[in-house]
Amino acid sequence: MTETSTVPPLPTADTTPPRQPKLLERMRIHLRTRHYSIRTEEAYADWVKRFILFHHKRHPKDMGAAEVEAFLTHLAVHRQVSASTQNQAKSALLYLYKQVLQIELPWLDEVVQAKTPQRLPVVLTPSEVRELLQHMEGTPGLIAHLLYGTGMRVLEGLRLRVKDIEFERREIIVREGKGNKDRVTVLPENLITPLKAQLQKVRALHEKDVLAGFGRVYLPHALAMKYPEADRSWPWQWVFPSPVRSQDPRPDARTGELLERRHHVLPTSVQRAVRDAARRAGIAKPVSPHVLRHSFATHLLQAGYDIRTVQELLGHADVSTTMIYTHVMNKGGRGILSPLDAL
Rounded mean pLDDT, 235-251 = 90
The answer to whether residue 10 sits within a structural domain is: no
Choice among 105-109, 189-193, 334-338 with the minimum mean pLDDT: 334-338
Angle at 272 (CA atoms; ends 268, 273), nearest 5 degrees:
120
Query: Are 322 and 316 contacting, i.e. CB atoms less than 8 angstroms apart?
Result: yes
166 beta partners: 171
Domain that holds residue 47: 23-100
pLDDT given for residue 76 in this prediction: 87
Confidence at 1, pLDDT banded by 50, 70, 90: very low
pLDDT given for residue 343 in this prediction: 61
pLDDT given for residue 162 in this prediction: 96
- CA 309/CA 49 separation, integer angstroms: 43
Angle at 158 (CA atoms; ends 156, 162), nearest 5 degrees:
95
Query: Are 202 and 239 contacting, i.e. CB atoms less than 8 angstroms apart?
Result: yes
Question: Domain check: are 160 and 271 in the same one?
Answer: yes
Question: Domain check: are 136 and 71 in the same one?
Answer: no
Residue 56 among the catalytic residues: no
The pLDDT of residue 258 is above 90: no
Angle at 335 (CA atoms; ends 329, 336), nearest 5 degrees:
155
Residue 178 among the catalytic residues: yes
The pLDDT of residue 30 is above 80: yes
Helices (H), 55-191: 65-77, 83-95, 126-134, 138-150, 154-158
- Give the pTM: 0.78
Question: Domain check: are 89 and 129 in the same one?
Answer: no
The pLDDT of residue 95 is above 60: yes
Give the burial string for 103-119 (b: 16+ CB within 10 Å, else e): eebeebeebeebeeeee
Question: Domain check: are 220 and 173 in the same one?
Answer: yes
Residue 293 among the catalytic residues: yes
In this structure, the number of other CB atoms found within 10 A of the CB of residue 301 comes to: 19
Question: Domain check: are 96 and 136 in the same one?
Answer: no
The answer to whether residue 3 sits within a structural domain is: no
The answer to whether residue 105 sits within a structural domain is: no
Question: Domain check: are 226 and 151 in the same one?
Answer: yes
174 beta partners: 183
Tell me the per-residue pLDDT of 160-187, one tens digit each, with 9 for 90 and over. Answer: 999 999 999 999 999 876 766 889 999 9
Q: Which of 178, 232, 245, 250 is catalytic?
A: 178
- The CATH number covering residue 93 comes to 1.10.150.130
Q: Which of 90, 135, 206, 316 is catalytic?
A: 316
Rounded mean pLDDT, 3-14 = 54
Residue 313: which of 218, 210, 224, 187 has the closest Cα? 187
pLDDT given for residue 225 in this prediction: 75
- CA 46/CA 88 separation, integer angstroms: 11
Confidence at 58, pLDDT banded by 50, 70, 90: very high
Q: Which of 153, 159, 206, 262 is catalytic?
A: 153
The answer to whether residue 340 sits within a structural domain is: no
Rounded mean pLDDT, 74-92 = 89
Residue 30 among the catalytic residues: no
Q: Which of 44, 95, 218, 325 is catalytic?
A: 325
What is the widest separation between alpha-carbon atoms in the chain? 131
- CA 55/CA 70 separation, integer angstroms: 9
Query: Are 188 and 152 contacting, i.e. CB atoms less than 8 angstroms apart?
Result: no
The pLDDT of residue 119 is above 90: no
pLDDT given for residue 187 in this prediction: 95
Residue 32 among the catalytic residues: no
Q: How does the average pLDDT of the chain come out, rounded?
A: 86
Q: State the total domains in the chain.
A: 2
Residue 153 among the catalytic residues: yes
Confidence at 56, pLDDT banded by 50, 70, 90: very high
